[in-house]
Amino acid sequence: MSLIPALPAPARHLLAGLALAVAVPVAALALPAVGDRLGTTPAEVTAALAAAGCPVSEFEAETAKVEAECTETATGKRWEIYIDPTSGLVTKVEAD
């Protein structure tokens, strides 16, 4: 039984495809969360954040942590992402 019985099958398929096409890019551009692995090199971290829709504007590597500042493309909001340089895991995410 269809949730939209008044529409012919091709129209229902088109609507389902459009819904998926809209939902997938939004999920793909999710900001990293604590525990996510971004990488252990500046290039890996920069690429991972760019792929998440948050291009890096500043990158600071210290002994105990790496700090990447990025701007979320969808909202224009600036973020500071802290990464463990040994594991490449995000340790903290905060709005700038």
Domain limits of the chain? 1-30, 31-95
pTM (2 decimals)? 0.69
Residue 69: CB partners within 8 Å, gap ≥ 6?
Answer: 56, 57, 58, 59, 78, 79, 80, 81, 96
67 has which bridge partners?
60, 82
pLDDT score of 23: 39
Instruction: Give the C-alpha separation, 94 to 69, whole Å.
Output: 10
pLDDT score of 21: 42
Residue 23 φ/ψ, nearest 5 degrees:
-75, -35
pLDDT score of 29: 64
pLDDT score of 61: 87
Write out residues in the chain with pLDDT < 50, as ranges: 1-2, 14-15, 18-27
Nearest CA among 86, 95, 45 for reference residue 65: 86
pLDDT score of 26: 41
